[in-house]
Amino acid sequence: MKSPVLCLVLPLILGVWGLSIAPAHADTVLYDSSSFVTGQQSFVQSFNITTPGTLTVTLADIPWLDTISNLTGLVTTSSGIVGQTFTDGSESFSVAAGTIYTHWFGDAQGTYNIGVLGVKITFQPDVTPVPLPVPFVLLLSGLGIMLGWQRRPALNGTPSRVATTAH
C-alpha cells in the first residue's frame, strides 16, 4: 500500500473506531472517608463548587463494634436546605455554583457505644458534550488538502513547477 493511501485510510479507520466510543463522564470524588461515631454525633464538610452539577452523597453503616442507628444526611447552602434529608444509602442533588455544606448524623447504640460509618461525596458537573463529527471532517479535509498540494513530477521527468529568475 502506498504512503498517501495509508495516510487517508488510517485516519478514516481511527475516526470510525472513535465514533463508536461512548462519551466519557468524569465524576470528581470530593470526600471519601470513614468516621468513628461515639454516642450521638454529627459531622459537616464544606465544598466550593465552581459550576452547576449533580452532588451525590452516600452514607453507609460499617458493621464494626456497634451499629449506627438514625443515620441521616442533608445538603445545605447559605440560602437553605437543598432537597430533603435522607437516611442510610445514596442520594443525588442538583446544585448550583457556590459553597455547599454536607451534614451527616448518627447514633451508635450498643455495648461499646462506638460505631463506624462511611461517607462518599462525588460531584459531576453539567457539561455539554462536544460533537466529534465536525472535528473529524475538518481533519479529513486538512489531510486531503495536504496530499493534494504535494509536488508531483511531470510525466516527461521535468519538475511540474519551473522557477523563473529575472535576468
What is the DSSP code string of 101-121? Answer: EEEEEEEEESSS-EEEEEEEE
Tell me the per-residue pLDDT of 50-101, one tens digit each, with 9 for 90 and over.
889 999 999 988 888 888 888 889 999 989 999 888 887 889 999 999 999 9
For residues 77 and 7, the model is more confident at 77
pLDDT digit string (tens) for 124-164? 988 766 555 666 667 777 777 777 666 555 556 555 555 55
Give domain limits for the chain: 28-125
Query: Is residue 119 within 8 Å of 77, Cβ to Cβ?
Result: no
Average pLDDT over residues 15-34: 67
10-14, 67-71, 110-114: segment of lowest average pLDDT: 10-14
CA dihedral 63, 69, 70, 75 (to 10 degrees): -20
User: Could you tell me which residue, 35 or 7, shows the higher pLDDT?
Assistant: 35
Greater model confidence, 72 or 9: 72
Indicate the pLDDT class of residue 165, thresholds 50, 70 and 90. Answer: low
Query: Distance (Å, rounded) from C-alpha 132 to C-alpha 10?
Result: 17
Q: Computed from CA positions of residues 81, 84, 88, 89, in that sequence, does the dihedral angle turn out positive or negative?
A: negative
What pLDDT is recorded for position 46? 92
pLDDT on residue 141: 73
Around 152, how many Cα atoms within 13 Å sit in the side-chain half-sphere? 7
| Residue 124 near residue 3, CB atoms below 8 Å | no
| Mean pLDDT in residue range 106-135 | 81
The CATH code of the domain at 28-125 is 2.60.120.380
Q: How far apart are CA 2 and CA 92, in angstroms?
A: 55
